């Protein structure tokens, strides 16, 4: 019974950890199946329900996930499977199979939450579970304790690290788990962004915009397109459509320069890049997390530069007629109404800077209100004409829309604004909460300029930390229609603890999660002779592991001899040099008698050793 409870506990922890990564319906179903198993004891009913639930789960996965969301679907499947397997935990074999399924679930956790703490907790969880499986196998677990457990576990753990660091990283990965979080967390916008071209975060909209609903396009590319909010070339789309991977041309590497200035609240606009795979170098130390956030380590005033590869030219300061056409593209349906409401003077200034200033002034005058829970708008025009409440995305899209009407080339950029400074390791944590949308406009003499329409509506968004800002907007918790002021709770000490854990996590994760091929080569080259293949280093490590393990067991099993036994063995060894070997059938006295005949020269020594032997063992 205890092991069943432990199993249930582990599954529950997995549900909680994966809750942010997979759809709520999957987590809920897993929990429901787990709970149901406690109430149904009838065996045939259990079997019937189990089969039914299995089909139900398959249908759920089928309808919940698009074909390209392989990772998400697989993780959900393993989680659901673990709860279904829970129904038949009777024999030790069932528990062992459960251990294998839970190992796969742990693997999902490591993919979706690549942090050291999750990893450590996962390993401890699995070792603990395995320990209990050994217990139900009628093993006297006491026999495995202490020295025996130490001699088995310690070298295994040490060598697993050796093998891990020497295992050749011949691949940079074929799949990207970053798609998961990003798709789910940002897929709830209802606005029709197609008016501005490829401006969307909704997964359905993204596919619709690109006309790729039925395509088997690798998701990384869509992620890239949607996040940078700018078009990729038609060639790239057709290449992706035909199932080919875009060939990265090294010559098209482009260096981004974003000036990072650390202010009191760590405010800086940081456009989302396209996952760590595309970031080749960065001047400042940079950790990317799978939940969409990233971390700049030891931040200081200065340039943050990324070198990225791929067809990113359109994002940069380059400006050509094609880009201009795209940046001015608009599908106005109710343009006259908009103009009537937003344009005080029909004649716009010639100078684009003045036009921009006029637009900003007009935008402020409109008195939009910031709200994290705005009503649903069917389009940007609907928002501009009928709404006033919105958040950064609404403002950015509307501003870009109006700018295009004002004949100012504009584009929306999605990224992060600010972050939280962590004093424990001098880093800035950028979270999903810090997600932001702003606009870049093109001015003839200045190039692309950043404009943040949200700050025109609520200047606090720039000066306050994101959490502080959102707290100021919503100072109450709502629980069963009861409003509880957030001031009643002091989260400061708790937050400090989280920051400390985060810094610890970051320190421990840094050397592990970012240990890629480049770092491996760098490390191993410094430890081994030049040009020694990594594969050979791995094989040598494996052989060393096997050799050391066998030696360890050899010495571990050696009997401890007392001095008399040692002396006797030494005596036999010395006599062997004269060609005399003691037979198993003869006693020590008989052997010495035989030796006295063969080697009379050693008479004194032989008699002395025999006397000692007899005294030691027979008196």
Partner 1 sequence: MLRSIINYFYDKIAGSRLDHPIYIIPTFDGLKVVLLNIILLVIGLSYANNYVLLFNFILFCLFLGSMFYTHFNLSGLKLVSITSPQIHKGESREIALYFSTSNSQGHYFLKPSFKSNLVKIQNQKQTYSISSANNFSIKILIHGEKRGRESINKIYLETLFPFNFFRCFTFYSVDLRLFVFPEIKNGTNFQKSFVPDLINKESDEFFIREYQTGDSLKRVDWKKLAQTNKWYTRQYVAVNPEPVVLSCDDNASEELLSSLCFSIHEMQTRNIPYGLKLGNKSFIAPGNSPFHLLNCLRELASYDN
Q: Residue 96 interacts with partner 1 (CB under 8 A)?
A: yes
Instruction: Select the residue interacting with partner 1 from 19, 20, 64, 103 (CB under 8 A).
Output: 103
Tell me if 67 sits within 8 A of 222, measured CB to CB: no
CA distance 331 to 2: 64
Single out the residue of 434, 512, 426, 443 nearest to residue 468, CA to CA. 434
Rg (CA), the chain: 35
Nearest CB to partner 1, comparing residues 217 and 513: 513
Q: Residue 144 interacts with partner 1 (CB under 8 A)?
A: yes
Instruction: Select the residue interacting with partner 1 from 164, 477, 578, 617 (CB under 8 A).
Output: 164
Query: β-strand 294-297 against 286-288: which pairing, if any?
Result: antiparallel
Q: Residue 197 interacts with partner 1 (CB under 8 A)?
A: no
**Rounded to the nearest whole angstrom, what is the least distance from the CB of residue 398 to partner 1 in the complex?**
39
Q: Residue 494 interacts with partner 1 (CB under 8 A)?
A: no
Q: Residue 132 interacts with partner 1 (CB under 8 A)?
A: no
CA distance 240 to 221: 8
Tell me if 82 sits within 8 A of 98, measured CB to CB: yes
Residues 6+ apart with CB under 8 A from 172: 277, 516, 517
Q: Which residues of 441-460 are buried (b: 16+ CB within 10 A; e: fewer)?
A: bbeeeeebeebbbbbbbbee
What is the DSSP code (8-state) at residue 171? -
Alpha helices in 321-406 (DSSP H): 321-327, 335-342, 352-365, 380-386, 392-405
Tell me phi and psi for residue 78, to 5 degrees. Answer: -65, -40
Nearest CB to partner 1, comparing residues 109 and 237: 109
Tell me phi and psi for residue 362, to 5 degrees. Answer: -65, -40
**Rounded to the nearest whole angstrom, what is the least distance from the CB of residue 535 to partner 1 in the complex?**
14
Nearest CB to partner 1, comparing residues 114 and 231: 114
**Rounded to the nearest whole angstrom, what is the least distance from the CB of residue 552 to partner 1 in the complex?**
8
Alpha helices in 19-139 (DSSP H): 24-36, 43-64, 70-85, 92-112, 116-136
Nearest CB to partner 1, comparing residues 318 and 550: 550
Instruction: Select the residue interacting with partner 1 from 3, 54, 89, 111 (CB under 8 A).
Output: 111
Q: Residue 143 interacts with partner 1 (CB under 8 A)?
A: yes
CA distance 316 to 332: 27
Q: Residue 123 interacts with partner 1 (CB under 8 A)?
A: yes
Stretch of residues binding partner 1 (CB under 8 A), selected from 8-16, 347-355, 462-470, 542-550 = 542-550
Nearest CB to partner 1, comparing residues 123 and 497: 123
**Rounded to the nearest whole angstrom, what is the least distance from the CB of residue 554 to partner 1 in the complex?**
9
CA distance 244 to 343: 47
Instruction: Select the residue interacting with partner 1 from 36, 107, 588, 599 (CB under 8 A).
Output: 107
Instruction: Select the residue interacting with partner 1 from 45, 59, 175, 544 (CB under 8 A).
Output: 175
**Rounded to the nearest whole angstrom, what is the least distance from the CB of residue 124 to partner 1 in the complex?**
11
Q: Residue 122 interacts with partner 1 (CB under 8 A)?
A: yes
Task: Point out which residues pair with 355 in neighbouring strands.
Answer: none
Q: Residue 270 interacts with partner 1 (CB under 8 A)?
A: no
Per-residue CA distances from 76 to 13, 28, 61, 113, 115 (Å): 14, 11, 8, 15, 20
Instruction: Select the residue interacting with partner 1 from 91, 160, 341, 522 (CB under 8 A).
Output: 160
Q: Which residue is it, tokens 């001047």?
A: 283
Instruction: Select the residue interacting with partner 1 from 38, 139, 476, 617 (CB under 8 A).
Output: 139
Within residues 320-379, the interface with partner 1 by CB under 8 A covers none
Nearest CB to partner 1, comparing residues 179 and 381: 179
Q: Residue 51 interacts with partner 1 (CB under 8 A)?
A: no
Q: Residue 558 interacts with partner 1 (CB under 8 A)?
A: yes
Instruction: Select the residue interacting with partner 1 from 163, 244, 298, 543 (CB under 8 A).
Output: 163
Residues that bind partner 1 (CB under 8 A): 71, 93, 96-97, 100, 103-104, 106-107, 110-111, 114, 118-119, 122-123, 134, 137-139, 143-144, 148, 152-153, 155-157, 159-161, 163-164, 167, 169-177, 512-513, 515-516, 545-546, 549-550, 553, 556-560
């Amino acid at each position: 019974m205890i092991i069943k409870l432990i199993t249930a506990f582990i599954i529950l922890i997995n549900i909680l950890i994966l809750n942010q990564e997979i759809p709520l319906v999957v987590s809920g179903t897993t929990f429901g199946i787990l709970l149901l198993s406690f109430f149904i004891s009838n065996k045939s009913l259990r079997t019937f329900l189990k089969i039914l639930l299995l089909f139900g789960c398959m249908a759920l996965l089928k309808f919940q996930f698009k074909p390209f969301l392989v990772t998400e679907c697989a993780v959900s499947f393993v989680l659901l499977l673990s709860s279904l397997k829970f129904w038949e935990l009777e024999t030790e074999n069932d528990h062992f199979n459960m251990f294998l399924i839970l190992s796969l679930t742990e693997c999902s956790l490591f993919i979706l939450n690549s942090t050291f703490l999750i990893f450590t907790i996962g390993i401890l969880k699995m070792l603990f579970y395995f320990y209990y499986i050994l217990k139900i196998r009628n093993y006297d677990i006491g026999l495995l304790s202490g020295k025996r457990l130490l001699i088995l576990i310690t070298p295994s753990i040490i060598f697993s690290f050796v093998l891990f660091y020497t295992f050749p990283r011949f691949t940079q990965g074929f799949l990207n788990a970053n798609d998961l979080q990003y798709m789910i967390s940002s897929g709830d916008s209802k606005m029709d962004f197609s008016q501005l071209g490829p401006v969307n975060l909704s997964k359905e909209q993204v596919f619709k915009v690109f006309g790729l609903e039925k395509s088997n396009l690798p998701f990384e590319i869509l992620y890239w397109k949607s996040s940078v909010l700018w078009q990729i070339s038609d060639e790239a789309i057709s290449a992706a459509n035909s199932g080919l991977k875009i060939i990265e041309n090294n010559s098209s590497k482009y260096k981004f320069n974003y000036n990072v200035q650390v202010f009191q609240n760590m405010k800086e606009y940081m456009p989302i890049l396209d996952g760590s795979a595309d970031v080749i170098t960065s001047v400042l130390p940079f950790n990317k997390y799978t939940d969409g956030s990233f971390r700049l380590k030891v931040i200081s005033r200065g340039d943050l530069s990324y070198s990225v590869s791929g067809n990113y030219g359109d994002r940069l300061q380059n400006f050509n007629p094609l880009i201009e056409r795209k940046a001015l593209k608009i599908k106005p349906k109710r343009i006259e109404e908009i103009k009537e409401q937003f344009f005080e003077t029909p004649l716009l200034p010639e100078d684009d800077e003045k036009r921009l200033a006029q637009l900003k002034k007009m935008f402020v005058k409109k008195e939009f209100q910031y709200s994290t829970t705005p009503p649903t708008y069917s389009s940007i025009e609907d928002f501009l004409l009928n709404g006033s409440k919105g958040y950064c995305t609404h403002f950015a899209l509307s501003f870009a829309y109006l700018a295009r009407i004002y004949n100012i080339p504009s584009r929306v950029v999605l990224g992060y604004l600010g972050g939280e400074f962590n004093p424990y390791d001098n880093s800035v944590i950028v979270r999903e909460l810090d997600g932001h949308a702003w606009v870049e406009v093109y001015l003839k003499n200045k190039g692309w300029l950043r404009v943040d329409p949200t700050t025109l509506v609520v200047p606090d968004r720039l000066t306050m930390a994101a959490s502080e800002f959102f707290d100021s907007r919503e100072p109450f918790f709502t629980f069963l229609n009861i409003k509880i002021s957030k001031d009643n709770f002091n989260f400061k000490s708790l937050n400090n603890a989280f920051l400390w854990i985060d810094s610890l996590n970051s320190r421990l994760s840094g050397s592990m999660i970012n240990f890629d091929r480049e770092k491996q080569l760098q490390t191993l080259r410094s430890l081994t002779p030049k040009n020694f293949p990594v594969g050979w280093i791995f094989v040598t490590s494996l052989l060393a592991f096997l050799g050391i393990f066998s030696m360890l067991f050899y010495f571990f099993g050696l009997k401890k001899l007392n001095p008399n036994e040692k002396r006797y063995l030494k005596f036999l060894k010395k006599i062997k040099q004269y060609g005399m070997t003691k037979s198993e059938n003869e006693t020590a006295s008989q052997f010495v008698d035989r030796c006295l005949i063969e080697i009379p020269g050693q008479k004194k020594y032989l008699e002395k050793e025999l006397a000692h032997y007899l005294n030691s063992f027979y008196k």
